[in-house]
Structures are given as C-alpha cells and as structure tokens.
Amino acid sequence: MAKTDSPVPLSVVILAAGQGKRMKSDLPKVLQPVAGRPLLKHVIDAARALGPSATYVVYGHGGDRVREALNQEPVSWVLQAERLGTGHAVMQAAPTIPDDHVVLVLYGDVPLISHATLAELLTLCGPKKVGLLTMVVADPTGYGRVVRKGRDQVQKVVEQKDASKKELQIQECNTGVLAAPAKLLKKWLKQLKNTNSQGEYYLTDVIALAVKDKATVNPLVAPNNVEVLGVNDKAQLAEVEAAYRRRVAHELMLAGVTVADPARLDVRGSVTHGVDVFLDINVVLEGDVKLGSRVRVGPNCVIRNCEIGDDTEVFAHCVLDSSVIGANCIIGPFARTRPTSKLANGVHIGNFVEVKNAQMGNESKANHLAYVGDATVGERVNIGAGTIIANYDGANKHRTIIENDVHTGSNSVLVAPITVGAGATIAAGSTVIKEVPPAKLTVARARQVTVDDWTRPVKTKK
C-alpha cells in the first residue's frame, strides 16, 4: 500500500450524503457504478492508498443502502441527519478527529482523483498551512471561484450564486478537496455562518477564515481536470466512465499490452499480465484478471475473475467466469466457462461449449455443442459434438469422472454419477447410465427399426 511521507497522522473525511436527484434513480448517487464499482468505493480506495489513521464517510440520503453495500470497507460511518451544506457535513465527523491530525476532505462522487495528486496536496499542508486543490476550466459556470491576491495568495472561495461580476470572470475553480490541520479546521468550522443564497454552511468559507487567521492557503492546480470530475447525472456518469476507460487502457498500453481500440476496452477491476498480450475490441475485464504472456483475447469477450496461462487464445464472443485456464489452450468462439472450472494445458473448448464446476486435463477437447458440468475429465479426452453430462436429478447435483483417453461419440448423454474408464469409447447417440469399462466400446441406444406400413398423420381440412 502506497502511503504519504508525512509523519503527521492523517484522517480522511469523505462527504457522501448527497441525494443526487438529477440521477433520476432509486439508487443513491454514491452507489452509482463506474467500472463496475460504486462511486464511493473508488474514493474509499483512493483514501486507503494514503495510509490514513482513520477514514470517515459522512452519509445521509439512502444511508442504510450505502452502508449495507459497503459494509466490508474499513471506514467509520457518520450520519448527517440534516443536509445543511458541506461545512455542516464535515462538522459531523470533526469531534472524533484528534487535534494533532491532518484532515483531508474528499467527495463520494469524485471517483477518479489520483494518489499522486492527493499525496502532493498533503505536502502543502502544515501547522498553519492549508492545501487547496483547484482546477482551471474554460467554462467555470456552476463552480465556486478561487479568488487570489496577486498570482499566488488565495484569499477566499466564492460560490457562483454569491460571486460579483468580476469574480465570475475567474476561471480557476474550487474542487472542494482540501487538507488542513485538524485543530485549526475545527476552529474555523465553528465560525461558519449560513448567511448566503443557499442558507447552508459552506466548507469553502473555511478558506477566508484561514486567511483571516493568518494561515497560508497553498493552492494546487489539478494536473488533469478529469481527476476532479464530479458526478451529478447519468451523462456525467458516462463521461467519468469513459475517462476511466481511457486511463486504464493507456496504462495497459504503456505496460506493453496491445489494445486494438482503447475506446472499446472496459476494465472493471484489476489486471495483471505478461508480455505481448493482445486485447481485441469490446473486451470486458471484470474483477481480478490475470493474463499470461502472449495471451490473445478476441472481440466481444467478457472475462471475469479468471487466470489465463501463457499462449492461450480466446476467440470471439466468449464468457469466462471465475475459472483457471492453463497454457496453450484454445477457447471459443462462443464458449463459456462458469465458476470453479479449471482447464489444464492444451485444452480446447469450442463453439457453444459450456464448462461448469469441472476440471479438464491436459490436451482434452470439447470442440462443439457440449455441456461439461460437475465433472472431472482426464487427459487427452475427446468429447464429441452434442455430448452432455446430465449432472442434475431435479434435486441434487452429481459428479462424473471421465478418465484419460476417453472418446465420446456425438449426441451422447452421460447421466451422473458415473465413471468412464480410461481409453473407453462411447458410441454416438448413446445414453450412458452406469459405469463404462475401460478400453472398450460401449453402445447404449435403441436398435434402429423401420416401420413399413406407417403413414404420417395428415391435418383434417376444415
């Protein structure tokens, strides 16, 4: 875990009480997903990377759902029963923060802020110093303006509704993110007033109070405005999602991964990889994905919580879920693996083949239209087209064991639980319901009969 170099203990306060009416959704705003994770989860992860002594999440609207969704996170939950502004929100957490801490204020709807930016901001905070993260935008409409005296000294932050005509021309805007000494911040919070157009206690008014108290306000202009994008509606949510995609694709390409089209790669988790990996268009990587060297993933594939070995190729339109796939495998097109499946080296599964809770040994194949469920398959097994393992009796799942070098003919059904002995061959069209002896041909189908005097039924004319 990356941490800051500051010896001063750090407390992070994340403001996450907003209702998010503009989302027009029953889901609380901070639970809206970006890259498969709630907005708030991204911010909690950014805070945790700094190594704080404590992280406080100030919640309000939909609070029970927010806490339930993120109940495994190592944070302290603080209720803001009345939403009286950002300053009021920080007041709710302030009493539990020790005076000798630095307080970093973040926002639950600003998910892309980077560790590097936050670490730099914290270096600007000291005993009588406040670090303030700002941004410069071409159109500052809607943002609070950062008012400086000269080029460097910040005097105050003015919300747009309270700004003068001259102040409205300022293009440097407040992001709301700041770092301040806890003891002084508590003092300034107590001095906040709600005599403004909104009737709220603005955290931004702390800046003017700090200047009045002869504390230095050190601004840091965000290196990339994408980092400080907030999310208030579904259009902004999509904008942040696209920015996240660009960032992750760029990082993968710099690390040596070939991405056919960065705009059409979705990474919704973490990816580790070897050398010369290729990702085609519309690939979705979810959860924890590990790709070996020279892995190739074809278009329109979804890979979730999987490990894929060296030199394996995944052809188009595959869905791989919570599976371990060995080296030199060929998967797809149109193949599916379901959780706890494990394919050894050199395995082939092809068109419309599904593997579920099964293990397939080295160089085994199921190339066409097969279902391999709840099975242990040995090495060099050939599962013929249309073969299915009937693993479910209507109440319970049963396991099938297929030993090495077995061949199953097309359209055969293996009714679990059974064992198919090594080297056995099952004839096409067989329905096998009991143990199959090794090294023999087993035929289990009705004898073909032709009925000479049969007549096909004919519909009666009305």
Burial of 429 (C-beta count, 10 Å sphere; 0-12/13-18/19+): middle
Told to judge if 273 belongs to the known catalytic residues of this protein, a careful annotator would answer: no
Look up residue 434 and give its amino acid. K
**CA torsion 198→199→204→207, rounded to 10°?**
130
Closest CA to 32 of 217, 206, 189, 231: 231
Q: What are phi and psi of 78, to 5 degrees?
A: -125, 125
- Sign of the alpha-carbon torsion through 226, 231, 235, 238: positive
Instruction: Report yes or no: 257 and 279 within 8 Å, Cβ to Cβ.
Output: yes
The β-bridge relationship of strands 296-297 and 313-314 is parallel
**Which DSSP string corresponds to 323-364?**
-EE-TT-EE-SS-EE-TT-EE-TT-EEEET-EEES-EE-TT-
**How far apart are the C-alpha atoms of 26 and 433, rounded to whole Å?**
51
Instruction: Tell me the β-bridge partners of 218.
Output: 131
Among 88, 368, 398, 407, which one carries the catalytic annotation? 368
**How far apart are the C-alpha atoms of 39 and 66, rounded to whole Å?**
11
Q: How many angstroms separate the most distant Cα atoms in the chain?
A: 108
**How far apart are the C-alpha atoms of 64 and 154, rounded to whole Å?**
39
**How far apart are the C-alpha atoms of 10 and 332, rounded to whole Å?**
50
Radius of gyration of the chain, Cα coordinates, nearest whole angstrom: 31
Closest CA to 341 of 357, 318, 328: 357
**How far apart are the C-alpha atoms of 347 and 406, rounded to whole Å?**
14
Closest CA to 378 of 333, 326, 420, 332: 420
Residue numbers annotated as active site: 368
